Amino acid sequence: MQFGIFSVGDVTTDPTTGRTPDDTERVRAMLTIAEHADAAGLDVFASGEHHNPPFVTSSPTTMLGYLAGRTKNILLSTATTLITTNDPVRLAEEYAMLQVVSGGRMDLMMGRGNTGPVYPWFGKDIRQGLPLAVENYALLRRLWEEEVVDWSGRFRTPLQGFTATPRPLDGVPPFVWHGSIRTPEIAEQAAFYGDGFLHNAIFWPMEHTAQMVNFYRQRYEHHGHGRADQAIVGLGGQVFMRKNSQAAWDEFRPYFDNAPVYGHGPTMEDFTRETPLTVGSPQQVIDRYGAFWEQVGHYQRQMFLIDHAGLPLKTVLEQIDILAEDVVPVLRKEAEARRPADVPANPPSHAERVAAARAAGRLQAQQAAPADHWTGRAAEDDLEAAQAAGATTR
Amino acid sequence: MPSRSIVVVSGGLSQPSSTRLLADRLTEATVQDLTRRGIDTVVEVVELRGLAHDVVDMTLTGYARPDLAAALSALAGADGVIAVSPVYAASYAGLFKSFVDVLDPEALSGTPVLLGATGGTARHSLALEHALRPLFAYLHADVVPTSVFAATDDWADAGGEQVKPLPERVRRAAAELAQRVAAREPVAKGGLYDAVPSFEDLLGDA
């Protein structure tokens, strides 16, 4: 089972000091957090994607590409990639590039985005959110799976003879998750393709999460990808820990009370009882998160939000250390001990997907066509011409 | 015949509340009318006062805490609704509107609804027609023609030439609601996942 952290990249005033980082400081903090998580031994770092303040995560593949070079083992992902307002052609290119650059140490999670104005800013209509997610993702898959794509649809300009480059690493596209909190159609989409489904339950009661996940599991089996209990499931979570439980409560409360989204709403007592937010000792986090499988079945990825609401970088790094040293090893061991042998321990890695594709005889050629479709010329031909031109001007 | 569920929303904020008093009168008359038609009823009363914090929390967090979730789910499964609000500043009470704000926009679509309101004097009575009725029209509820306003004086008024006494208005409105509830098939309790279209349909030609 994988355990990781995800950041929405919010720039929020620290309510205890009144200090607000600027965008540059926040971006660098995210990079530090990801590198620290890698060094500490966490499994996944995922970046959100937002196109409005107070968020800085507008360009996830730039950040993840940098991190691919700076980190060793951690898997790089998104939470989420906007499948509605991004051009699926650019997504195919950017995430294939990230896949190649990271050597397959990545996956990504599709989401629709819930910030109204972002849709018109990118020329889209929020009322078309679901049809956009369906059409764009169908195109994205074709661009990864088929070398030359002829396509026309409702939401973007048609494509004739288009090849997205670089081609996916080893001819196998990245693994994809779909994230949704309350839209069964998205769980259905994940099930239809046999993709992963992540329920980011951080603001919702676990009963609701269990309903969504179990619906996805049944549909996964219905679509013939395996048994319901073999579907690939992830959960979002949220924790704040100190060795002493009361110290955790005292320290986190001002951040909770002023946090974006739920601040000035429910009390921390209510919210920790009704949602997965757990504030307390590492053992309390182990007890709570070690029991979620009873409601959603054995699952493959648990993500934690730990760097929001204005928490200082130093505190976030300490949280990573507590997670990695005191919590994750226990949860991982417990999960492994109770997992049936034919239920996947983890989401499929790149190597596993390559092996599966090879076994199924559907490994596509890794290279794009040697010459482009329009001129019949290869890059080398142009190189010679360019060198010749360069020689005359020198 | 299966029993019908009548859900009563009372938006009174004081305790005891004349809004609840009116809601109870409307409920009693509706149940009696349905009984005469040979229809059993199950009545559930949602007192908004007790849900006030949950309603505000949901507008902030997007999820319903357990008591509010139960109330929302009861409304979505109601065969008939009686909704009564005090009139504040020429309209429904803010809490009443906030509760409607967190209702699923489809929750009352087609549901027979009887509206009531209370206020200090009869001068507030048209708030029912200018504020509550359009709100429930927006929700596509089937609002009965007679809505009932109870001013303080109504509780001790035998009526007059212009205005029928409160019990008579209550009976008439209740009969309209009962008639609609009786005429409809009982609401099937559906889940979030019952109506998910096949993915092939979603995909269309994409």
Residues 6+ apart with CB under 8 A from A165: A93, A96, A368
Kindly list the residues from chain A whose CB atom is less than 8 angstroms away from the CB atom of residue B203.
134, 138
**What's the length of chain B?**
206
CA triplet A3, A179, A27: central angle to 5 degrees?
65
Answer positive or negative: Cα dihedral of A32, A33, A38, A44. Answer: negative
The Cα B22–Cα B150 span in angstroms is: 7
For the cut 90, the answer to whether the pLDDT of residue A309 exceeds it is yes
C-alpha distances in Å from residue A140, one per residue of A149, A158, A168, A365:
11, 13, 12, 18
For the cut 80, the answer to whether the pLDDT of residue A157 exceeds it is yes
User: What is the model's pLDDT at position A203?
Assistant: 80
How far B98 CA sits from the closest chain A CA (Å)?
14
- The string of DSSP letters for A205-231 reads -HHHHHHHHHHHHHHHHHTTSS-GGGS
Q: Is A324 helix (H, G, I), strand (E, B) or coil?
A: helix
Across residues B132-155, what is the average pLDDT? 96
The Cα B148–Cα B127 span in angstroms is: 11
Q: Do A266 and B57 touch (CB under 8 A)?
A: yes
DSSP lists the bridge partners of residue B148 as B116
Residues 6+ apart with CB under 8 A from A150: A159, A160, A161, A162
For the cut 50, the answer to whether the pLDDT of residue A50 exceeds it is yes
Q: Do A189 and B202 touch (CB under 8 A)?
A: yes
Across residues A300-306, what is the average pLDDT? 98
Crossing angle between the packed helical segments A60-70 and A23-40, to the nearest 10 degrees: 40
For the cut 70, the answer to whether the pLDDT of residue A378 exceeds it is no
Residue listed under structure tokens 């509760």: B99
User: What is the model's pLDDT at position B160?
Assistant: 76
DSSP strand E in chain B: where? 4-10, 41-47, 80-88, 91-92, 112-119, 142-143, 148-151
**ipTM score:** 0.78
User: What is the model's pLDDT at position B15?
Assistant: 85
- With cut-offs at 50, 70 and 90, classify the pLDDT of residue A391: very low
A183-213 tens-digit pLDDT: 999 999 999 999 999 999 888 888 889 999 9
Q: Do A208 and B63 touch (CB under 8 A)?
A: yes
Crossing angle between the packed helical segments B94-102 and B48-61, to the nearest 10 degrees: 50
CA A300 to chain centre: 14
User: What is the model's pLDDT at position B170?
Assistant: 97
Q: What is the biggest distance separating any 2 CA atoms in chain B, rounded to whole angstroms?
A: 68
A22-48 tens-digit pLDDT: 999 999 999 999 999 999 999 999 999
Alpha helices in chain A (DSSP H): 23-40, 60-70, 88-101, 118-121, 129-145, 184-193, 206-222, 245-258, 268-274, 282-289, 293-296, 313-322, 328-338, 350-359, 379-393
Nearest to B196 among A185, A211, A223 (CB): A185
User: What is the model's pLDDT at position B2?
Assistant: 80
User: What is the model's pLDDT at position A319?
Assistant: 98
**Least-confidence region, from A1-10, A353-362, B33-42:** A353-362
User: What is the model's pLDDT at position A337?
Assistant: 96
Pairing of strands B91-92, B80-88: antiparallel
A322-361 tens-digit pLDDT: 999 999 999 999 999 999 999 999 999 999 999 999 999 8
Structure tokens at B89: 């500043």
Number of neighbours of residue B144 by Cβ within 10 angstroms: 23
What radius of gyration, in Å, describes the C-alpha atoms of chain A? Answer: 22
For the cut 80, the answer to whether the pLDDT of residue B124 exceeds it is yes
Nearest to A153 among B192, B197, B206 (CB): B206
User: What is the model's pLDDT at position B199?
Assistant: 82
The Cα A132–Cα A140 span in angstroms is: 12
The domain of B91 spans 4-203
The Cα B36–Cα B54 span in angstroms is: 38
Nearest to A184 among B61, B193, B203 (CB): B193
Q: Do B202 and A188 touch (CB under 8 A)?
A: yes
Q: Is B163 helix (H, G, I), strand (E, B) or coil?
A: coil
- Chain B interface, best mutation among A152, A270, A273, by max B CB count within 10 A: A270
Domains in chain B: how many in total? 1
Average pLDDT of chain A to the nearest whole number: 93
CATH number of the domain bearing residue B10: 3.40.50.360
What superfamily would CATH give domain A2-368? Luciferase-like domain (3.20.20.30)
Kindly list the residues from chain A whose CB atom is less than 8 angstroms away from the CB atom of residue B199.
188-189, 191-192, 223
Is the CB of residue A335 less than 8 Å from the CB of residue A298?
yes
Kindly list the residues from chain A whose CB atom is less than 8 angstroms away from the CB atom of residue B61.
203, 261-262, 265-266
| CB contact burial A273-305 (16+ within 10 A = b; e otherwise) | ebbbbbbbbbebbbebbbebbeebbbbbbbbbb
Q: Do A134 and B203 touch (CB under 8 A)?
A: yes
Across residues A107-125, what is the average pLDDT? 93
The Cα A289–Cα A281 span in angstroms is: 12
- Residue A10 DSSP one-character state: B
Domain coordinates of chain A in residue numbers?
2-368
